[in-house]
Amino acid sequence: MNAFDTSKPLRVLLLADDKPGHYHQSEGIVSALERVQPVACRRLFVQRRQLVPRALLRAMKRRGADGNRLLSLGYGLSAKDVSTPDIVVSSGGDTLFANMAAARVSGARNIFLGPVCSELRDAFNLIISSHDVPDHTANHVCTLQPNAMDPDKLGRPSHMPRFSSKKPPRTAALLLGGNTRDIRYTPSDWARLGAFLRTTHDAWGTRWVVSSSRRTSAEAISALAPVLHDKAIVRQFLDYRLAGPSSLPGLLRLAEIVVVTADSSAMLSEAVAGRFPVVAVTANDHQLDKNETRYRDYITQNNWSRSLPISWLATETFLDALGDIAPRADNHLDAIATLLRNRFPELVG
Separation of alpha carbons 16 and 8, rounded Å? 24
Residues 131 and 185 in one domain: no
Residue 211 falls within a domain, yes or no?
A: yes
Of how many residues is the chain composed? 349
pLDDT over 90 (residue 134): no
Summarize pLDDT for 162-190 with one digit per residue, the tens: 777 678 899 999 999 999 988 999 999 99
List residues bridging with 286 in a β-sheet: 183
Q: Which pLDDT does position 1 carry in this prediction?
A: 38
Residue 136 falls within a domain, yes or no?
A: yes
Residues 196 and 280 in one domain: yes
Residues 14 and 74 in one domain: yes
For 262-294, b where at least 16 C-beta lie within 10 A, e where not — what string?
bbbbbbbbbbbbbbbbbbbbbbeebebeebbeb
| pLDDT (average), residues 230-248 | 84
Residue 278 falls within a domain, yes or no?
A: yes
List residues bridging with 327 in a β-sheet: none
| pLDDT (average), residues 16-37 | 94
List residues bridging with 307 in a β-sheet: 280
Q: Which pLDDT does position 223 carry in this prediction?
A: 95
Strand order in the sheet with 10-16: 39-45, 10-16, 87-91, 109-113, 126-129, 140-142
- The stretches of 234-349 forming alpha helices (DSSP H) are 240-243, 248-252, 265-273, 290-301, 315-323, 332-343
Q: Which pLDDT does position 240 carry in this prediction?
A: 83
Residues 101 and 50 in one domain: yes
Helix 96-106 crosses helix 54-62 at what angle (to 10 degrees)?
40
Tally the domains of the chain: 2
CA geometry: angle 28, 29, 30, nearest 5 deg? 90
Residues 222 and 261 in one domain: yes
Residues 75 and 39 in one domain: yes
Band of the pLDDT at 200, cuts 50, 70, 90? very high
| pLDDT (average), residues 73-100 | 96
The more confidently predicted of residues 249 and 11 is 11
Residue 216 falls within a domain, yes or no?
A: yes
Give the containing element (helix H, strand E) for 97: helix 96-106
Residues 138 and 201 in one domain: no
| pLDDT (average), residues 33-59 | 95
Torsions phi, psi for 45 (to 5 deg): -75, 130
Closest CA to 41 of 9, 83, 16, 12: 12
Residue 349 falls within a domain, yes or no?
A: no
Domain residue limits at 249: 171-323
Residue 1 falls within a domain, yes or no?
A: no
How far the first Cα of the chain sits from its last, in Å, is: 16
CATH code (residue 303): 3.40.50.2000
Residues 134 and 201 in one domain: no
Residues 295 and 235 in one domain: yes
Separation of alpha carbons 49 and 64, rounded Å? 20
Q: Which pLDDT does position 5 carry in this prediction?
A: 59
Can you state the percent helix, strand and coil of the chain, rounding each to 5? 40, 20, 40
Residue 72 falls within a domain, yes or no?
A: yes
Output the pTM of the full model.
0.90
* R_g over Cα of the chain: 21
Residue 166 falls within a domain, yes or no?
A: no
Residues 301 and 336 in one domain: no
Of 124-133, 276-285, 305-314, the one with minimum mean pLDDT is 124-133
Residues 178 and 205 in one domain: yes
Of 80-84, 106-110, 132-136, 312-316, the one with minimum mean pLDDT is 132-136
Q: Which pLDDT does position 251 carry in this prediction?
A: 87
pLDDT over 70 (residue 6): no
Residues 121 and 242 in one domain: no
What is the average pLDDT value for the chain, to the nearest integer? 91
pLDDT over 80 (residue 247): no
Summarize pLDDT for 46-58 with one digit per residue, the tens: 999 999 999 999 9
